[in-house]
């Protein structure tokens, strides 16, 4: 597979993850993952981190496309992961939501944890709920870029990195991401084959001390879907 490389140096590989691909294998997954393709091209990554991640600094959901960071050595991996842990990385996504959001800006702050009814899903918990104990804080900020008759295009800035965070938070607001097969409501069908969520911007400090910004264009399928709405 021909992976698109945005940037690389001796410490870091920045690539565009395509939609529909799992980043690294977990559980009973048998399909080929992004890490499998990376190891074919960069076998030295087997010395970075632990299986099955091998140098992957952070993750994106299977159907989410966009910027993904892979460290090329152990020292760089710890350096970049520390920034994610300390919430120093600026990440921005483009998300198309069902319905029309009223506010131009917003901040969603809840607890998030696994759903007791469905192990594949995450769920919002409020602090006073009996089952909220041990659930993790999740913060998502957003601003509206464009409104359509039945949709809203947003720039989304997650301040924490919980599993499915953006998808769970907008579903909680009553405005799930278009094409989301897990968190959309029954009456919200879409012709999109995957959910409309793209990691288009990332800013992070490099080992030499300066900050770098990376950007990724909206993929063809999402761009065409937007054009039809316009």
Catalytic residue set: 61
User: Which two tokens mark 161?
Assistant: 């990195």
State how beta strands 65-71 and 197-205 pair.
Answer: parallel
Tokens, residue 3: 């992976």
DSSP letter for 177, please. B
- By the 10 Å C-beta count (0-12 exposed, 13-18 middle, 19+ buried), 35 is classed as buried
> Can you tell me the distance from the alpha carbon of 90 to that of 94, in angstroms, rounded to the nearest whole number?
14
Tokens describing residue 72: 């090329």
Torsional sign, CA 48, 52, 56, 58: negative
Return the structure tokens found at 119. 């192990």
């Amino acid at each position: 597979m021909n992976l698109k490389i945005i940037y690389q140096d001796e410490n870091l590989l920045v690539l565009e993850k395509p939609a529909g691909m799992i980043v690294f294998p977990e559980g009973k997954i048998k399909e080929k993952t992004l890490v499998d393709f990376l190891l074919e091209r960069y076998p030295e990554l087997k010395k970075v981190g632990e299986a099955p991640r091998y140098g992957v600094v952070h993750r994106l959901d299977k159907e989410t496309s966009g910027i993904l960071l892979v460290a090329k050595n152990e020292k760089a991996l710890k350096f970049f992961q520390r920034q994610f842990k300390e919430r120093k990385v600026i990440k921005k996504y483009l998300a198309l939501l069902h319905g029309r959001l009223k506010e131009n800006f917003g901040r969603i702050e809840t607890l998030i944890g696994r759903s007791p009814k469905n192990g594949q899903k995450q769920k919002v918990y409020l602090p006073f709920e009996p089952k909220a104990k041990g659930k993790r804080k999740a913060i998502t900020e957003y601003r509206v870029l464009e409104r359509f008759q039945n949709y809203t295009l947003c720039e989304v800035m997650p301040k924490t990195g919980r599993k499915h965070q953006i998808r769970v938070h907008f579903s909680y607001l009553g405005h799930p991401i278009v094409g989301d097969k897990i968190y959309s409501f029954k009456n919200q069908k879409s012709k999109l084959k995957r959910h409309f969520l793209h990691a288009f911007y990332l800013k992070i400090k490099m080992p030499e001390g300066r900050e770098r910004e990376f950007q990724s264009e909206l993929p063809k399928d999402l761009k065409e879907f937007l054009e039809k709405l316009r």
